[in-house]
Amino acid sequence: MATVTAESSTSKPFVRVPTRRNQLSDRAVMNLFIWPTLILLIIFNFFPLFYSLYLSFTSYRATSPTAPVWVGIQNYTNILTDPDLWQAFTTSGRYVLFSVALQTVVGFGLALLVRGKFRGSGVVTTLILIPMMLSPVVVGLFWKLIYNPSFGFFNYAIPFINPAALDMIGSRFADIPVQYLALASVILVDVWMWSPFVMLLVLSGLNAIPDYLYEAAAIDRASSWFQFWRITVPQVMPLLLIAVLFRTIEALKSFDLVMGMTGGGPGNQTELIAVYLFRVAFQGQFRSGYASALAYIILIIVIAISNLYIRYLNQAKGEA
Amino acid sequence: MSSFAETGPRRPVTESIRVDKVSPGARATGAVRAVVVVLVALIMLIPIFVMLITAFKTRIDVTASPPKVFFQPTLEGIVLLFTNRAIAAPGRQEELRQLAREGKLNIFEQIALDSGQEITGASPYVGRIINSLLIAGISTALSVFLGVLAGYAFSRFSLPGKDDLLFFILSTRMLPAIVVTIPLFLMFRQVGLYDSHLGMILLYTVFNLSFAVWLMKGFFDEIPREYEEAALVDGYSRLETFRKIVLPQSLSGIAATTVFCLIFAWNEYAFALMMTSEKARTAPPSIPSMIGRGGVEWAAIAAGSLGFLIPVIIIVFALRKYLLRGVTFGAIRQ
């Protein structure tokens, strides 16, 4: 880098007399650069969290004029004994489990598939990446149309069934309610949207594997199956783990997609935890105290997973 | 010494005779694979294709069962999306037809007339789009500006607890929107920021800020410090160095950050749904609510969604190089 310095100072001679006045020290510049950001984040994120921590110990409705009343841990005990909430947690758990697992498998498969270069492979890879950048609520809406039993394309793409009988969003087949059908249809869309994300991360992991590992394995006559499990998988693992953690966090928070597609219905079959929280906090009763307590429980879960995520992220960064 | 003409091959070499060339078998597998990849990509794009064709279907074609792939395209959906219409009385229709014959009606008015309607004005959706553009645009500018400053500071200066601060900044992005919204909703209502443009701009600025800081820090980390050190030695102040040496080198990074922030703000739904009602409502929460009026106007919804898709598709292609960085907060580079 010494050459760079010499070059820049000869080609562009900065002949200037240093003027010390009006110069800010590095420390002042740093404060000037960092504090506006920190202040905004504190006002809009930190402070609200403290406020809602307080609210979570009160009985308060945002629509009523009465001030919050301190009730201690009553909200928390109510939450832990509320069957609706456990239902929402279970639904979210199923959703996270299945959608992240499928995304991992599909994303990994896609990455292995598009790994080889051919003419135009860059464009094709980019095309596959489009879904994840779309607005989830808009995606949810147009999949609702695709799933429509009478004029959607989805049912006509499934062989051997009467297209008019299957109602994915309504969770019915031939007018008989089928459990999990609606949830499955949301999961399918989430997989469609986010498998490319896993693919993108795995792909960058695959590209970083040095060729000599495979060459050495080939010389030792390792089977391609053996190469896959002993070279490809371990080498890609750190990035795959990041992808899985990131998707887990996002799936736990999932809100937009369900709101666009099902609004939590039919009944409460697709009511994920964020949708349940939205209903409690903003629809009907505006139970702000109760909702704050619930929000805190979700927050703790998300922070725990984020912590893991960021730790792995730093690790991967150290290796790269 | 004999010349090439004497020792070289009689016929010019037109094909590769390299010993390490790819075997025909491997090449065939490669070709099959390429075809599979293209097929997979096409299958993944079917939903987007469905949206595209639905936007240009008439109301009757949209609800045809089985769904039509081939149809007579119309702009009816786009008219439904952007205008308010009223049923024109027979007399008025005759008048309008007269105007149409004279060529005094624009294309939208003619389409509306074909279904016996008259355009009475712009639909609320137009205002929502303008809100979306305003809020996304201004908040992006703000968060990129602040993100560039903070990203530079985090990249170049050492300060106690830097990693913890960076973690704090990132963790704000991990919070589920709904968790912060309950207290923010109460705060905003108290200070009169609920359903205001200013409130939404501030909210989206903060929403994108952590992302902008992390991404910009990554870009600054890649610029060698030596340039700045040389400039500092030559008597430039820290601020001048930043402006004249560092900023020009990070332009592509700033552009990528800007576009990502724009997409996130443009797509954002949860905050918009909970923090606005009418005045400052953006487009994403209003697309689903188009269902409410007189049956589901799928063509209009499709047209509205299409307006969301097209910019994003263009941007994805423009940002190809930076996508991985963008989705991992700048932590992983290709």
The model's pLDDT over B283-329, given as tens digits with 9 standing for 90+, comes to 888 887 765 455 677 888 888 888 888 888 888 888 888 877 787 77
Could you tell me the two tokens for A258?
Answer: 């369900």
Q: What is the mean pLDDT of chain A?
A: 83
In three-state secondary structure terms, A166 is strand
CA A131 – CA B283 distance, rounded (Å) = 19
User: Over chain B, what HEC string results?
Assistant: CCCHHHHCCCCCCCCCCCCCCCCHHHHHHHHHHHHHHHHHHHHHHHHHHHHHHHHCCCHHHHCCCCCCCCCCCCCHHHHHHHEEEEECCHHHHHHHHHHHHCCCCCHHHHHHHHCCEEEEEECHHHHHHHHHHHHHHHHHHHHHHHHHHHHHHHHHCCCCCHHHHHHHHHHHHHCCHHHHHHHHHHHHHHHCCCCCHHHHHHHHHHHHHHHHHHHHHHHHHHCCHHHHHHHHHCCCCHHHHHHHHHHHHCHHHHHHHHHHHHHHHHHCCHHHHHHCCCCCCCHHHHCHHHHHCCCCCHHHHHHHHHHHHHHHHHHHHHCHHHHHHHHCCCCCCC
Would the pLDDT of A124 be above 60? yes
Of all residues in chain A, the one with the smallest CA distance to B259 is: A133
Contact A24 B45 (CB under 8 A): no
Helix-then-strand count for chain A, H and E:
15, 5
Residues A304-312, mean pLDDT to the nearest whole number:
79
Please give the pLDDT value at position A249. Answer: 87
Percentage of chain A exceeding pLDDT 70: 91
> Domain limits of chain A?
75-319
Residue A229 has pLDDT above 80, yes or no: yes
Nearest CB among A24, A55, A201 relative to B183 is that of: A55
Report which secondary-structure segment, H or E, holds A318: helix A288-319
pLDDT category of residue A3 using cuts at 50, 70 and 90: very low
CATH node for B125-327? 1.10.3720.10
Residue B121 forms beta bridges with which residues?
Answer: B84
Higher pLDDT, A19 or A164: A164
pLDDT of residue B14: 58
Q: Distance between CA atoms of A145 and A153, rounded to whole angstroms?
A: 8
pLDDT number for residue B68: 78
pLDDT given at position B4: 54
What are the pLDDT digits (tens) for A152-202?
888 888 877 777 778 888 888 878 888 888 999 999 999 999 999 999 889
Q: Residue A198: which of A306, A111, A313 has the closest Cα?
A: A111
The token duo for A199 is 């693919």
Cβ contact B235–A134 (<8 Å): no
The token pair that represents B213 in the structure block: 């800081």
Reply yes or no on whether the pLDDT at B162 is more than 90: no
Per-position b or e across B300-319, b if 16+ CB within 10 A of its CB: bbbbbbbbbbeebbebbeeb
Q: What is the side-by-side strand order in the sheet with A176-177?
A: A166-167, A172-173, A176-177
Cα separation, A182 vs A194, whole angstroms: 19
* Contact between chains at B331 and A313 (C-beta distance less than 8 A): yes
Beta bridge partners of A173: A166, A176
Say yes or no to pLDDT of A9 above 70. Answer: no
Question: Which tens digit of pLDDT belongs to each residue from B262-279?
Answer: 988 999 998 999 899 888
Chain B partners within 8 Å of A40 (Cβ): 146, 202, 205-206, 209
CATH of the domain spanning A75-319, picked from 3.90.79.10, 1.10.3720.10, 3.40.50.720, 2.30.29.30? 1.10.3720.10
Asked if A11 is an interface residue toward chain B (Cβ–Cβ < 8 A), one would say no
| Angle formed by the axes of helices B177-191 and A288-319, nearest 10° | 130
A315 and B CB contact within 8 Å: no
Of A62-71, A133-142, A195-204, A245-254, the one with minimum mean pLDDT is A62-71
For chains A and B, what is the number of CB pairs under 8 angstroms? 304
List CB contacts (< 8 A) between A196 and chain B.
Answer: 44
Q: How does pLDDT run across B50-78, given as a tens digit for each residue?
A: 888 888 888 778 777 777 778 888 887 88
Share of chain A above pLDDT 90, in %: 17
Helix (H) or strand (E) holding A71: none
Scanning every residue of chain B, which has its alpha carbon at the shortest distance from the alpha carbon of A287? Answer: B182
Q: How far is A143 from chain B (nearest CA, A)?
A: 7
- How would residue B13 be classed by pLDDT, with cut points 50, 70 and 90? low
pLDDT of the residue at B292: 47
Boundaries of CATH 1.10.3720.10 in chain B? 125-327
The predicted structure's pLDDT at residue B206: 92
B209 closest CA partner among A77, A123, A46 = A46
Q: What is the mean pLDDT of residues A255-269?
A: 86
Nearest CB among B54, B179, B320 relative to A126 is that of B320
Q: Which residues of A touch B174 (CB under 8 A)?
A: 249, 302-303, 306, 309
pLDDT value at residue A11: 47
Indicate whether A240 pLDDT > 80: yes
| CA dist., res. A276 & res. A289, Å (int) | 15
Residue B100 confidence (pLDDT) above 90: no
pLDDT of residue B257 exceeding 70: yes
Looking at chain B, which residue has its C-alpha nearest residue A192? B44
Q: Using one digit for the tens of pLDDT, what is the confidence trace for B163-209?
A: 888 888 887 777 788 888 888 988 898 899 999 999 999 999 998 99
pLDDT of residue A313: 73
